């Protein structure tokens, strides 16, 4: 592909302007005022994610991309996103009342994929469940934060002001999904930001960007033309732990009852 | 880099490490002792149980000593203790934890310090008059310039003191009930999430406070060679017994409710109690820390025993009670983090020793209130008679 000088200059200028705008925007995000960021109207979006369990192959690229993109500590017990493998054994015909107990694993958060331990023919069913912050509209974590360091931005993203977090860990206890951890470097809480630095530039999240099968889809529920509406219409979807009534905005298609 | 704790089954990755350590176990234990000691003091002041009068001042000083230390384990635990003041400046009103600072300050400054000051004012004035030099200056400063000891003035003191105590009782309830609410309101955690939590915390607080003051009173009279007031001790033991019965009944109610409802968390919690919490809950808290002391106290209520035997049983029961209540806090705080919120696995708590949240600071934090109490008792002797010179000047 050839690029003439005019095109090259135009593209470079656009890139520089966009990067400049994003870095300016990020300063506002860190101050807890994303709505003041230039070029991004926080009130015109309501972000959500759609995950199709039937499409997830457990490759772990999303976990790896998140770690790299967001400078997440490498250990698995500091995870903004991870993938779980569920294996639900067949029901025992001699004891049909016994509910099959799922076996779940997530080696290294699924970052490097999963070794085959349930080869075809062993019975039961296996599937992968990507997990991340559910960016709840009624977040238990936001409710309990004693200083308001974690907050719901008007575009539906749960964020943390690291300069304000006291590190009490109450939010970690309050999250029903285990999505928060204490960053050992800053001694403050950390979690998925839905790649806020990317989505406020019009990009998708790092995990959605690298997903080879499109199992993860990022979308704007306030945009009537966003494909996420078609996905939600075309699939039967469920959120994790609906009984918690957290207003989760991560919608799963093909979610098995065994998944918690 | 430390090793990760042993995990059985599946935990969400971020759940493997426990977030709240032994220091957070100490926090409800210490505030419980504060509330309990204060409620014991109010028995005499408000409810006119004159038999416990000899422990009135000791109870107040015990409450103050433990209250002064209560925020310390929290501060040690915070990732950024230097930012904790933000809870006062910009509290997040929907957070139970944010209200701690205000409840704490209210209780410390509006209740406890005022009540102690009013109670000791005649003593402080007497000391200021009877001593010289720096001691005199010190006690004069503590009188805050209020040196009038006329009968009218003392009557006002008494009336204000009673008013403060009447406010103090709901405040003490608030102080510890709210600590229970911090845990009881976490809907993500089925081990914590029950509306009974604040009231269970409250009654266990009363139990632990009475037991602590009983032991401190026994030790104080022994160390100072002061004659022990046996009716006082008998009355304290009786209140300990009844409060403990209510506390145990509430905990049983919680247990029966869980077993009968058997919701989705039941099998996980049941397994945890029978394995990971077997020693600390079934053996420690329920058998050694509840049934045995209740049995000992019941014995003293049912059988006429010698003074010596009663003293021994009271001391033993009170000591076991404190162990039991400490283990109850342990089982709530640590137990609530040992199972996965996926209900599919369990982790273990590895207590470190000489780290910021290890066993050593926990022991020091536990001993510190006793050192503070020792200093307070020296400054404000609980058994000192009101000075004879009560005429107006």
Chain B residue with minimal CA distance to A179?
B14
DSSP string, chain A: ----HHHHHHHHHHHHHHHHHHHHHHHHHHTT-GGGSTT--GGG--EEEEEEGGG-----HHHHHHHHHHT--SSTTS-SEEEEEEEEPPP-TTSTTSPPPPEEE-GGGGTT-----S-TTS-SEEEEEEEE----TT-HHHHH-SS--EEE-TTS-EEE-TTT-----HHHHH-TT---EEETTTTEEE----SHHHHTTT---HHHHH-TT--EEEEETT-TT-THHHHHHHS-EE-SSGGG-----EEEES--TT--
Using the Cβ of B96 and the Cβ atoms of chain A, whether some distance falls under 8 Å is answered with yes
CB contact under 8 A, A178 and B12: yes
Residue B356 has pLDDT above 80, yes or no: yes
**What is the distance between the alpha carbons of residues B108 and B60, in angstroms, rounded to a whole number?**
11
- Residue-level pLDDT at B62: 97
Mean pLDDT, residues A155-162 = 97
End-to-end CA distance of chain B: 69
Please give the residue range of the domain that contains residue A200: 45-253
CATH number of the domain residue A217 falls in: 3.30.70.20
β-bridge mates for residue A151, sequence order = A159
Which residues, in sequence order, are bridge partners of residue A251?
A50
CA distance linking residue B328 with residue B334, whole number of Å: 10
- Per-residue pLDDT, A19: 65
Which of B15, B79, B183, B355 is the best residue to mutate to test the A interface, defined by the most A CB atoms within 10 Å of its own CB? B79
- Span B358-377, mean pLDDT? 97
For residue B390, name the pLDDT band (cuts at 50, 70, 90): very low
Q: How far is Cα A98 from Cα A94, in angstroms, rounded to an integer?
A: 9
Q: Tell me the three state secondary structure of residue B339.
A: strand
Minimal Cβ distance to A77: which of B13, B87, B100: B13
Residue A86 in any domain: the answer is yes
Segment B260-269 shows an average pLDDT of 95
Touching B: A residues 184-223, CB under 8 Å? 186-188
The model's confidence at residue B30, banded by pLDDT at 50, 70 and 90, is very high
- In the structure encoding, which two tokens stand for residue A112, read together? 């490097």
CB contact under 8 A, A106 and B186: no
Does pLDDT of A1 surpass 60?
no
B20 and chain A in contact, CB less than 8 A? yes
Tell me the percentage of chain A whose pLDDT exceeds 70.
91
Residue B290 has pLDDT above 70, yes or no: yes
- Report domain B20-240+353-379's class: mainly alpha
Torsion of CA B61, B66, B71, B73, to 10 degrees: 160
Q: Is residue A260 part of a domain?
A: no
In a domain, A99, yes or no: yes
How far is B253 from B203, CA to CA, in rounded Å? 13
DSSP 8-state class, residue B54: G
What confidence category does residue A7 fall into, taking pLDDT thresholds of 50, 70 and 90? confident
Strand pairing class (B8-9; A81-88): unpaired
Partner-chain contact A178 B20, CB within 8 Å: no
Q: Averaged over A198-216, what is the pLDDT? A: 97
What pLDDT sits at residue B156?
A: 95
Number of domains in chain A: 1
pLDDT value of position A146: 95
Across chain A, mean pLDDT equals: 92
Residue B389 has a pLDDT of 43
* Cβ <8 Å between A146 and B100: yes
Residue contact A166–B79, C-beta within 8 A: yes
CA angle A81, A188, A63 (to 5 degrees): 15
Chain B residues in contact with A82 (beta carbon < 8 A): 12-13
Residues of A in contact with B20 (CB under 8 A): 169, 173
Question: Nearest-CA distance from B341 to chain A in Å?
Answer: 7
Task: Tell me whether residue A199 is in a domain.
Answer: yes
Of the residues B2, B8, B88, B342, the best mutation for testing chain A's interface (the one with the most A CB atoms within 10 Å of its CB) is B342
| Confidence at B50, pLDDT banded by 50, 70, 90 | very high
DSSP annotation of B342: T
Is the pLDDT reported for residue B267 higher than 70?
Answer: yes
Q: Answer yes or no: do B97 and A170 touch at CB < 8 A.
A: yes
Q: Among A12-26, A86-100, A120-134, name the one with the lowest average pLDDT.
A: A12-26
| Tokens of residue B218, six digits | 């026994």
Contact A182 B83 (CB under 8 A): no
Of the given ranges (A39-48, B76-85, B100-109), which has the lowest mean pLDDT? B100-109
Q: What average pLDDT does this structure show over A57-71?
A: 98
Chain A partners of B74 at a C-beta cutoff of 8 Å? 168
- Is 90 exceeded by the pLDDT of residue A218? yes
Query: Residue A36's pLDDT is what?
Result: 52
B95-124 pLDDT per residue, tens: 988 887 888 889 888 899 999 999 999 999
Q: Is residue A32 predicted with pLDDT exceeding 90?
A: no
Share of chain A above pLDDT 90, in %: 82
Q: Do A78 and B14 touch (CB under 8 A)?
A: yes
Whole-angstrom Cα distance, residue B358 to residue B60?
Answer: 30
Query: Which of B47 and B311 is assigned the larger pLDDT?
Result: B311
- The model's pTM is 0.91
Q: What does the pLDDT look like over B116-151, one tens digit per residue? A: 999 999 999 999 999 999 999 999 999 999 999 999
């Amino acid at each position: 592909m050839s690029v003439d000088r005019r095109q090259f200059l135009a593209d470079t200028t656009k890139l520089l302007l966009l990067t400049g705008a994003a870095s300016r925007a990020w300063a506002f995000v860190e101050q807890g005022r994303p709505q003041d960021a230039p070029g991004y109207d926080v009130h015109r979006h309501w972000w959500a994610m759609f995950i199709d369990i039937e499409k997830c192959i457990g490759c772990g690229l999303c976990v790896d991309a998140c770690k790299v993109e967001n400078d997440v500590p490498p250990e698995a017990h500091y995870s903004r996103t991870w993938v779980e493998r569920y294996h639900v054994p067949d029901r025992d015909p001699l004891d049909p009342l016994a509910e099959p107990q799922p076996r779940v694993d997530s080696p290294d958060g699924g970052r490097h994929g999963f070794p085959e331990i349930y080869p075809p023919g062993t019975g039961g069913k296996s599937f992968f469940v990507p997990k991340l912050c559910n960016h709840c509209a009624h977040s238990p974590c936001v409710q309990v934060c004693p200083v308001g360091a974690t907050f719901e931005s008007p575009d539906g993203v749960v964020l943390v002001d690291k300069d304000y977090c006291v590190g009490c860990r109450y939010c970690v206890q309050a999250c029903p999904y285990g999505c928060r951890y204490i960053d050992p470097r800053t001694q403050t809480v950390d979690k998925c930001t839905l790649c806020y630095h990317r989505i406020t530039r019009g990009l998708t999240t790092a995990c959605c960007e690298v997903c080879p099968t499109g199992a993860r889809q990022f979308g704007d529920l306030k945009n009537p033309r966003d494909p996420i509406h078609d996905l939600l219409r075309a699939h039967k979807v469920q959120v994790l732990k609906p009984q918690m009534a957290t207003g989760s905005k991560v919608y799963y298609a093909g979610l098995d009852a065994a998944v918690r | 880099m430390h090793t990760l704790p042993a995990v059985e089954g599946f935990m969400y990755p971020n759940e493997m490490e426990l977030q709240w350590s032994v220091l957070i176990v100490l926090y409800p234990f210490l505030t419980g002792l504060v509330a309990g000691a204060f409620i014991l003091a109010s028995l005499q002041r408000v409810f006119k149980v004159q038999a416990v009068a000899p422990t009135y001042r000791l109870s107040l000083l015990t409450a103050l000593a433990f209250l002064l230390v209560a925020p310390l384990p929290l501060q040690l635990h915070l990732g950024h203790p230097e930012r904790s003041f933000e809870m006062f400046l910009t509290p997040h009103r929907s957070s139970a934890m944010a209200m701690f600072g205000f409840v704490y300050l209210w209780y410390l400054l509006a209740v406890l310090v005022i009540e102690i000051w009013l109670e000791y004012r005649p003593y402080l004035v007497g000391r200021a008059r009877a001593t010289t030099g720096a001691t005199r200056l010190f006690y004069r400063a503590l009188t805050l310039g209020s040196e009038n000891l006329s009968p009218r003035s003392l009557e006002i003191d008494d009336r204000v003191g009673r008013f403060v105590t009447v406010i103090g009782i709901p405040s003490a309830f608030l102080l510890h009930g709210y600590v229970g609410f911090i845990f009881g309101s976490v809907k993500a955690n089925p081990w914590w999430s029950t509306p009974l939590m604040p009231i269970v915390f409250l009654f266990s607080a009363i139990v632990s406070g009475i037991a602590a003051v009983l032991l401190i009173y026994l030790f104080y009279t022994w160390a100072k060679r002061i004659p022990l007031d046996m009716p006082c001790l008998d009355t304290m033991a009786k209140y300990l017994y009844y409060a403990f019965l209510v506390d145990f009944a509430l905990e049983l109610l919680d247990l029966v409710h869980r077993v009968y409802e058997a919701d989705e968390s039941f099998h996980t919690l049941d397994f945890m109690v029978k394995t990971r919490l077997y020693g600390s809950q079934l053996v420690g808290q329920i058998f050694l820390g509840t049934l045995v002391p209740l049995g000992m106290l019941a014995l003293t209520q049912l059988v006429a025993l010698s003074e010596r035997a009663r003293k021994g049983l009271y001391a033993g029961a009170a000591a076991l009670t404190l162990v039991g209540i400490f283990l109850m806090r342990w089982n709530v705080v640590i137990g609530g983090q040992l199972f996965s919120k996926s209900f599919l696995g369990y982790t273990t708590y590895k207590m470190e020793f000489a780290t910021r949240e290890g066993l050593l600071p926990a022991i020091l934090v536990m001993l510190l209130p006793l050192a503070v109490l020792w200093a307070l008792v020296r400054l404000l002797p609980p058994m000192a008679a009101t000075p004879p010179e009560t005429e107006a000047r």
